[in-house]
Amino acid sequence: MLKTLTAAAVSALLFAASAASAATLTAEATLKADQPGPKIDKYVYGQFSEHLGAGIYEGVWVGENSKIPNVRGIRTDVVNALKEIKVPLIRWPGGCFADEYHWRDGIGPRDQRPSRKNNWWGGSPESNHFGTHEFFDFAEQVGADAYVSINVGSGDPTEMREWIEYMTSPGEDTLAQERRKNGRDKPFKVPVIGIGNETWGCGGGMTPEYYSNEYRRFNEFFHKGTDNPALRIAVGPSGGDENWTEVVMKQIGNRRMEGLSLHYYTLPTGNWDKKGASINFDKQAWADTFAQTLKMEDFIVKHSAIMDKHDPEKKVALYVDEWGTWYDVEPGTNPGHLYQLNTLRDGVLAAVNFNFFHKHADRVKMTAVAQTINVLQAMILTKDDKILLTPTYYAFKMYVPFQDSTSLPLDLKAPTFTFGDKTLPAINASAAKGKDGKTYIGLANMNPDDEVKLTVDLGTLKATKVSGEVLTAPKMDARNEMGQAATVVPVSYKGGKITGNKLTLSLPAKSVVVVKLD
């Protein structure tokens, strides 16, 4: 009989079976719909696509002569999938790759572009077939804005200035004419530019003092203005490095930058030498993973406090432009290609982080999950002409209504659960008023065993109907399989009820739930 059911129906049956066997914890929350907060910028749902493994080549670029359906060499199935989750921004070309990337390698006739060695990621050949024009074509096909990372580590201000002029100049200057000769008449739209990447590490091994001076030097030749209105993003800290934030905010200041980046990856073990497996993990590894990702909010709070001291008017946004899970690579794959499988755990973890970003929307104006395709916590996995949409992809899809919404305070009292030496909140949540005028609540149940019954006091909000979607599965490492119908997909949510001004929600173990209130 199961062979005749849709993937969504199978998932619904599995959800029902899972919920039936779970214990129930209780939680309370108060929604303050009459006290709207800051805008949740759509850029919070940005993507990061680096020249790494099969992220660009095979993942995005297959070439115009490929049998795989494409538009000017860019995979049609990938573009369509990303359009479905309304990707607002794509960061490119790196990452560590950005600080060895010289933009002239990636323009002009492809058969004349030089081949380079990708020193950071497995020593793989870099054909440069996917360069500036191809990237903007990809972003425009998706409907996303561009976030371009400038080479500071091995480049110089002249190279930066010439690339910006090549991309943005509307005039008759030589660089603009060269762009036209290469097939693009009008300037490219470049709303965000990162001045360096991880300059504390692979981007140059700099101290914050040294980087601040380099940034100021590059900024003098940035020529921000009508032709180049891009937001300038300075390299910020890795994880909890508060000294980096202190020095950079003090020495660069809020007149020379519009954003400060933050990079933090969730490693189950916290150990870069042995990070943990992406599948076949136990409950302790599940708890360890969420304990690590919960640090994200602590980092946001601490760095925001330093930023507030130097920038009380909040002119400088916090850009969490690399985040996500980082596991040991799949056995048999190139260690430098960072290929990992993606399970329900990743989908729930994505929602946990979304809720943090919403909560701190006064500072967090953009994030970029690492990475879009075939690398780390990917939205999409590809193999030849096949495509797989991951649980993380579906978490992004469920949270689309939060893009450009208005945050609403949601005071939550969450129960806890314990595994080994880890005691964690069972759930986290966020609320917002969407552009459609409806109220949305997003929730993540991190407890792998128990259902949570949440009662929400709606306060002044008048609502009579609740609907939504839920993403869950019986196994912690449930995943979608290449070439098979997806089973870890959102299904219609039936666990909500409104009585008077009280909303009750039954949240299955290990689940993501997004509800709409009418």
Q: What is the CATH number of the domain that holds 376?
A: 3.20.20.80
Q: Do 394 and 448 have their domain in common?
A: no
Given CA atoms 352, 440, 43, 57 in this order, what sign does their dihedral have? Answer: positive
- Rounded to 5°, angle at Cα 346 from 342 and 351: 145
Same domain, yes or no: 370 and 444:
no
How many folded domains does the chain comprise?
2
Residue 50 annotated among the catalytic residues of the structure = no
Q: Nearest 5°: phi and psi at 317?
A: -85, 155
Q: What is the mean pLDDT of residues 8-23?
A: 51
Is 322 marked active-site?
A: yes
User: The domain that contains 12 carries what CATH number?
Assistant: 2.60.40.1180
The pLDDT tens digits of the residues spanning 465-504 come to 999 999 999 999 999 999 999 999 999 999 999 999 999 9
Which of 249, 381, 263, 257 has the alpha carbon at shortest distance from 307?
A: 249
Q: Is it the case that residue 197 has pLDDT exceeding 60?
A: yes
Find the mean pLDDT for residues 368-394: 98
Q: What is the pLDDT of residue 2?
A: 35
Please check the confidence at residue 5 and state whether its pLDDT lies above 90: no
Chosen domain end from 349, 373, 403: 403
Residue 15 has pLDDT above 70, yes or no: no
- Here the contacts of 204-210 (C-beta below 8 Å, separation 24 or greater) are 204/99, 204/152, 204/153, 204/154, 208/243, 208/244, 208/246, 208/247, 208/248, 208/251, 209/247, 209/251
Mean pLDDT of the chain: 95
Does residue 507 surpass a pLDDT of 90? yes
- pLDDT for the residue numbered 99: 97
Per-residue pLDDT at 17:
47
Contacts of 275 (CB under 8 A, 6+ apart): 267, 268, 269, 326, 327, 328
Helix/strand/coil for 248? helix
For the segment 217-236, the average pLDDT, to the nearest whole number, is 97
Could you tell me what percent of the chain has a pLDDT over 70?
96
Lowest mean pLDDT among 8-22, 130-144, 213-227: 8-22
- List, for residues 20-58, the tens digit of each pLDDT value: 445 899 999 999 999 999 999 999 999 999 999 999 999
- Mean pLDDT, residues 159-171: 98
Co-location of 290 and 361 in the same domain: yes
Amino acid at 39: K
* Residue 156 and residue 223 share a domain: yes
111 and 229 inside one domain: yes
Distances (CA, A) of 473 to 348, 387, 508: 11, 21, 9
Is residue 160 predicted with pLDDT exceeding 50? yes
Task: Among 381, 403, 425, identify where a domain stops.
Answer: 403
Residues paired with residue 498 on neighbouring β-strands, in sequence order? 503
pLDDT digits (tens, 9 = 90+) for 166-185: 999 999 999 999 999 999 99
What pLDDT, in 10s, does the model give residues 402-460? Answer: 999 999 999 999 999 999 999 999 999 999 999 999 999 999 999 999 999 999 999 99
**Distance linking the first and last C-alpha atoms of the chain:** 36
How many secondary structure helices (H) and strands (E) does the chain include? Answer: 11, 28
Are 333 and 479 contained in the same domain?
no
pLDDT confidence of residue 23: 80
Q: Do 383 and 444 fall within a single domain?
A: no
Sign of the C-alpha dihedral computed for residues 6, 7, 13 and 15 taken in this order: negative
One domain for residues 50 and 21: no
Does the pLDDT at position 4 exceed 90?
no
Other CB atoms within 10 Å distance of the CB of residue 23: 10
> 6: pLDDT confidence band, cut at 50, 70 and 90?
low
- Shared domain for 272 and 304, answered yes or no, is yes
**176 contacts 130 by C-beta, under 8 angstroms:** no
* Number of residues assigned to the chain: 518
- 15 and 119 fall within a common domain: no
Q: Which among 214, 322, 451, 469 is annotated as catalytic? A: 322
State whether 413 and 392 are in the same domain. Answer: no
Q: 385 is in which domain, residue-wise?
A: 42-403
Q: Tell me which DSSP letter residue 189 carries.
A: P
Residue 149 has pLDDT above 80, yes or no: yes
- Rounded Cα–Cα distance for residues 510 and 278 (Å): 16
Tell me which of 165, 198, 214, 469 is the catalytic residue. Answer: 198
Neighbour count for residue 305 (Cβ, 10 Å): 12
Q: Kindly give, in sequence order, each residue whose CB lies less than 8 Å from that of residue 84, ignoring residues fewer than 6 positions away.
A: 397
Identify the domain boundary among 387, 403, 419. Answer: 403
474 and 359 in a single domain? The answer is no
> What's residue 86's pLDDT?
98
Other C-beta atoms within 10 Å of 114: how many?
11
The Cα diameter of the chain in Å comes to 70
